C-alpha cells in the first residue's frame, strides 16, 4: 500500500429495550435516583469508569436510567451548579427549535434561506444561493465549501460555492450558525427569548446562548443537558406535556436525513446505520462511530467532548461535559465511554486499548504505551489509538488487520503513515 496519512474511525453496534420514564420537578434540584446495584450493575467497576473520565479531563458525568439518576460525578472544583458550554452539542437544541418554529407556522423547511438571511448572504451566484433551503442547513448539505480558511465564518466572503445544494454532505459550522438568524427573523424573537418560550419554561432546562466569535454557544449546568436528553428520549414530551406534536419532524430529526451520510439526522449524530462520515472528510466509513453503544443510539456531540448520548432501547441517557483533547466531534470518546459503561453494567470485560505514543515504526515496542504492540489481527472489541507525542509520527511498517467490531483511531492532527499493509474487515 502506498504512503498516505489517514484518519480512521471504524465501528459496529448492539441493542436492548425501553421502559416507562420518570421526570424530575421543573424547579429545584430534587431528582429521583436508582442505585447501580438495584439494576444488577457491577458496582466494583464504577471507580474504573470515573478514573477514565478523570483522565479525559471530564468536568461532569451523568447517567439516567428511565429518567432517574444512576451515576452522577463531578471532577475537580466543578459542581452540580457549575456552568459549561455545549459546543456543537447545542446544534440539537437548534434542531428542536426549528421544528417548533415550523409547527407554529413561522417557517417551512423548503423555504429558501435567503428569505430570512437576505439576498447576498453568501458569495454565490443568485441562482446558487436561492437553491439553498433551511432543510439544507439542517442536514449539512448546503453545498458551501467547508474547506475555507475559517469554516465558522458567517460573513458572505467565507460562504463559497462548492457543489449544488443537496448533492454534498460536509460538516460546516457557518451555515448551521446562520439558523439562529433564520429563527429570529422568522419568529420575531431573539434566540434566548424563543428558547425560553419554546423549551426551557416547560422542561426546567436552564442556561443561555452566548455569542463567541462567529458561533452561538449554549451554556448550562450539567443537569440541564440531562433534562434535554430525557426530553428527546421521550419524543419531545415532558411528563405528559407535549412541546412538539409534529411526529414526522421528530422522526426525521433522529433518522437518516439525506442519502449521503447515514450517520446524520437533523443535526443529530446517528449510530448503527451501516456507515457514516466525519468532519473534514468526504470518505464514507463502514460501520458505526460508536460500536460499543446500542445501534439505536443517537447523540449530540461537541468539541472537547460535550456529549448527550441517548439509547432508547436501554432506557439510558449519558451526559458528559469536559475538556477532552480530540477534535471537533470526538467519536472516540463517545465510544470509549460506552465501552466502559458496558463494563460497569456487567455486559463486557474491560476493553483492551493499544496506544501508539512514540515516534517511528509500529514494530518497535518502545513506541507503545506499556510496551504493548497490538496483535497482527486486532480482535473484535479491541482498539488501537494513534497518538504520537509532539510532532512524532506513527509508521505502520508491518501488516495489520483490524477485525470487524475492532477499531483504529487517529487522534486529530496526529501523523499516521503506512508503508506496510492495513486491512479493515
What is the pLDDT at residue 369?
80
The residue among 166, 156, 298, 326 whose CA lies nearest residue 235 is 298
Cell numbers at residue 51, please? 478514573
Which of 64-73, 264-273, 319-328 shows the lowest per-residue confidence on average (mean pLDDT)? 319-328
What is the pLDDT at residue 371?
87
What is the pLDDT at residue 12?
31
In contact, 107 and 94? CB cutoff 8 Å: no
Burial 373-395 (b: 16+ CB within 10 A, else e): bbeeebeebbbbbbbbeeebbbb
What is the pLDDT at residue 408?
86
What is the pLDDT at residue 349?
63
* pLDDT over 90 (residue 385): no
Residue 246 CB neighbours (<10 A): 14
Q: Distance between CA atoms of 340 and 342, rounded to whole angstroms?
A: 5
| Distances 21 to 103, 141, 200 between C-alpha atoms, Å | 25, 35, 19
* pLDDT over 90 (residue 248): yes
**8-state DSSP, 133:** B
Q: What percent of the chain is modeled with pLDDT above 70?
A: 94
* pLDDT over 60 (residue 7): no
Cell numbers at residue 18, please? 425501553
* pLDDT over 70 (residue 62): yes
* pLDDT over 80 (residue 411): no
Which residues, in sequence order, are bridge partners of residue 401? 377, 423
In contact, 356 and 378? CB cutoff 8 Å: no
Stretch 226-238: mean pLDDT: 98
What is the pLDDT at residue 350?
62
Burial class (CB in 10 A: 0-12, 13-18, 19+), 55: exposed
Going by their DSSP bridges, the two strands 383-386 and 407-410 should be labelled as parallel
Q: What percent of the chain is modeled with pLDDT above 90?
A: 82
Complete DSSP assignment for 294-312: BTT-EEEEETTTEEEEEEG
Cell numbers at residue 115, please? 428569505
Q: Distance between CA atoms of 180 and 195, rounded to whole angstroms?
A: 11
Q: pLDDT tens-digit profile of 195-205? A: 999 999 999 99
What is the pLDDT at residue 17?
37
Stretch 245-274: mean pLDDT: 95
pLDDT confidence of 353, banded at 50, 70, 90? confident
What is the pLDDT at residue 16?
35
The residue among 10, 7, 42 whose CA lies nearest residue 380 is 10
**8-state DSSP, 264:** B
Stretch 115-123: mean pLDDT: 97
The Cβ-side half-sphere exposure at 332, using a 13 Å CA radius, reads 24
The residue among 182, 22, 167 whose CA lies nearest residue 99 is 182
* pLDDT over 90 (residue 6): no
What is the pLDDT at residue 352?
79
| Distances 354 to 182, 289, 367, 406 between C-alpha atoms, Å | 46, 18, 11, 12
What is the pLDDT at residue 5?
34
Beta strands across the sheet bearing 393-396? 360-361, 393-396, 415-418
Return the higher-pLDDT residue of 384 and 300: 300
* pLDDT over 90 (residue 207): yes
Cell numbers at residue 211, please? 455569542
Stretch 146-162: mean pLDDT: 97
What is the pLDDT at residue 8?
39
DSSP E strand boundaries for 249-305: 269-270, 275-276, 285-286, 298-302
* pLDDT over 70 (residue 19): no
pLDDT confidence of 1, banded at 50, 70, 90? very low
Dihedral, 83, 84, 86, 87 alpha carbons, nearest 10: 140
What mean pLDDT, rounded, does the chain reach?
Answer: 92
The residue among 265, 268, 123, 98 whose CA lies nearest residue 179 is 98
Amino acid at each position: 500500500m502506498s504512503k498516505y496519512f489517514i484518519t480512521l474511525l471504524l465501528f459496529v453496534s448492539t441493542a436492548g429495550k425501553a421502559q416507562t420514564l420518570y421526570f424530575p420537578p421543573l424547579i429545584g434540584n430534587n431528582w429521583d435516583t436508582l442505585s447501580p446495584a438495584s439494576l444488577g450493575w457491577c458496582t466494583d467497576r464504577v471507580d474504573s469508569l470515573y478514573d477514565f473520565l478523570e483522565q479525559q479531563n471530564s468536568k461532569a458525568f451523568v447517567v439516567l436510567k428511565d429518567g432517574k439518576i444512576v451515576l452522577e460525578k463531578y471532577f475537580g472544583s466543578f459542581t452540580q451548579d457549575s456552568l459549561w458550554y455545549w459546543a456543537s452539542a447545542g446544534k440539537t437544541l437548534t434542531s428542536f427549535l426549528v421544528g417548533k418554529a415550523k409547527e407554529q407556522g413561522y417557517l417551512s423547511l423548503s423555504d429558501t434561506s435567503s428569505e430570512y438571511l437576505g439576498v447576498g448572504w453568501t458569495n454565490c451566484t443568485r441562482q446558487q444561493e436561492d437553491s439553498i433551503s433551511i432543510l439544507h442547513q439542517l442536514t449539512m448539505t448546503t453545498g458551501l465549501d467547508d474547506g475555507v480558511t475559517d469554516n465558522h465564518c458567517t460573513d458572505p466572503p467565507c460562504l463559497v460555492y462548492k457543489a449544488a445544494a443537496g448533492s454534498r454532505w460536509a460538516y460546516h459550522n457557518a451555515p448551521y450558525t446562520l439558523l439562529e438568524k433564520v429563527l429570529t427573523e422568522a419568529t420575531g424573537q431573539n434566540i434566548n427569548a424563543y428558547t425560553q418560550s419554546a423549551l426551557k419554561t416547560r422542561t426546567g432546562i436552564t442556561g443561555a446562548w452566548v455569542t463567541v466569535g462567529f458561533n452561538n454557544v449554549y451554556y448550562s449546568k450539567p443537569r440541564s443537558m440531562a433534562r434535554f436528553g430525557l426530553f428527546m428520549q421521550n419524543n419531545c414530551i415532558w411528563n405528559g406535556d407535549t412541546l412538539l406534536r409534529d411526529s414526522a419532524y421528530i422522526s426525521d430529526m433522529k433518522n437518516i436525513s439525506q442519502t449521503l451520510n447515514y450517520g446524520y439526522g437533523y443535526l443529530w449524530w446517528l449510530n448503527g446505520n451501516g456507515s457514516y462520515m466525519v468532519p473534514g472528510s468526504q470518505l464514507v466509513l463502514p460501520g458505526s462511530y460508536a460500536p460499543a453503544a446500542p445501534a439505536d443510539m443517537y447523540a449530540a456531540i461537541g468539541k472537547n467532548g460535550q456529549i448527550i448520548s441517548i439509547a432508547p432501547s436501554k432506557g439510558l441517557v449519558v451526559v458528559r461535559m469536559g475538556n477532552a483533547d480530540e477534535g471537533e466531534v470526538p467519536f472516540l470518546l463517545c465510544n470509549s465511554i460506552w465501552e466502559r459503561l458496558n463494563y460497569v453494567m456487567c455486559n463486557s470485560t474491560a476493553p483492551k486499548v493499544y496506544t501508539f505514543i512514540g515516534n517511528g515504526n509500529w514494530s518497535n515496542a518502545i513506541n507503545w504505551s506499556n510496551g504493548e504492540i497490538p496483535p497482527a489481527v486486532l480482535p473484535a472489541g479491541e482498539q488501537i489509538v494513534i497518538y504520537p507525542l509532539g510532532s512524532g509520527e506513527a509508521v505502520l511498517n508491518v501488516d495489520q488487520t483490524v477485525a470487524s467490531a475492532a477499531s483504529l483511531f487517529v487522534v486529530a492532527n496526529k501523523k499516521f503513515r503506512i508503508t506496510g499493509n492495513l486491512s479493515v474487515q
